[in-house]
Homo-oligomer: A and B are copies of this chain.
């Protein structure tokens, strides 16, 4: 079961320029495209006539035309033309989905259209080309979207899964201080490692000493988004309120379920230390994708190990403190939605 009354990232803007994109979201086949007026449209990718994928047709001035027998639909999904007949039955329509372009993404609302409020879409990280230049990428995973979110809630995994890239030492990780709080829309946690070793690959780029205060300030917005603000400053500076001059990143993680066992993991990272680096130097975020591929492989294997397994046998440990709260927030959101449906 999925939360439906929510904005999910359907695609990046650059995935829907000239092409018609077929994508399954929450088990529903959807076609995303721009009509002749440049409006982003999202329709059921299944013609109401014979079930052909509309994504094999072509965009029209106001909508889309099926490539099989030529029925046309506007961006609300209403049929506006049937070749060979003048009467258009009321039943001639496909489902349409509210969509909004914001940031680098096309967001889609999977619940009833009348509940869709674009103001609820997170605007993060800041679009600031000087101080917070950003880049993004996507990984398709054969794993539940919940596992991707859970992965972000227990950062102790950095010292093991990412020990050769972004992980702190095991000792520093074990001594991290965690503060977890519920929020109206989910939960958040602050994880701080004081006087910790700077990761090897940080030292190459950031003007800190070898000992740093490293923090991770994460907010989970149910059902499937995580806002990250994290970084590292010279040891002793964190408690003095210093949040600049070192490693600083803001990342939007948002995960869109394809099915119960597969998802699209979109990540969008803004780089706050860019300002003290040579602006002419070519910049790449490819290493972020490489790190997240380590997660992707682990999560897909984890998914396989949990098929037909009674997950109630799994054991929570201390580092699950945030993960447990996240799961509660997600379940509560699901429960609320189910109750409002029945009311």
Contact = CB atoms under 8 A, between A and B. Distances in A.
A340 to B, nearest CB: 26
A305 B84 contact: no
28 contacts: A46-B305, A48-B315, A49-B314, A49-B316, A49-B317, A50-B302, A52-B305, A56-B297, A56-B298, A66-B160, A67-B160, A68-B157, A68-B302, A69-B154, A69-B157, A69-B317, A69-B319, A70-B156, A70-B170, A82-B318, A83-B156, A83-B170, A83-B174, A84-B173, A84-B174, A84-B175, A84-B317, A92-B315
A69 B85 CA distance: 64
A58 to B, nearest CB: 9
Interface residues of A, number: 53
B68 A298 contact: yes
**Chain A binding surface, main DSSP class:** loop
Contacts of A305: 29, 45-46, 51-53
A45 B89 CA distance: 50
Interface in A19-67: 29, 45-46, 48-53, 56-57, 65-67
B51 A317 contact: no
Contacts of A170: 70, 83
B317 A71 contact: yes
A143 to B, nearest CB: 11
A231 B157 CA distance: 58
A192 to B, nearest CB: 14
Interface string A280-310: 0000000000000000011001101110010
Given A46-B309, A309-B46, A318 B84 contact: yes
CB-CB nearest 3 A-B residue pairs: A85-B318, A46-B305, A84-B174
A166 interface: no
A315 B69 contact: no
Interface of A: 29, 45-46, 48-53, 56-57, 65-71, 82-85, 89, 91-92, 150, 154, 156-157, 159-161, 170, 173-176, 297-298, 301-302, 304-306, 309, 311, 313-319
A102 B297 CA distance: 35
Contact of A311 (B51, B70, B154): B51
Contacts of A302: 50-53, 68
A56 B52 CA distance: 40
B161 A85 contact: no
A57 B163 CA distance: 12
Contacts of A313: 48
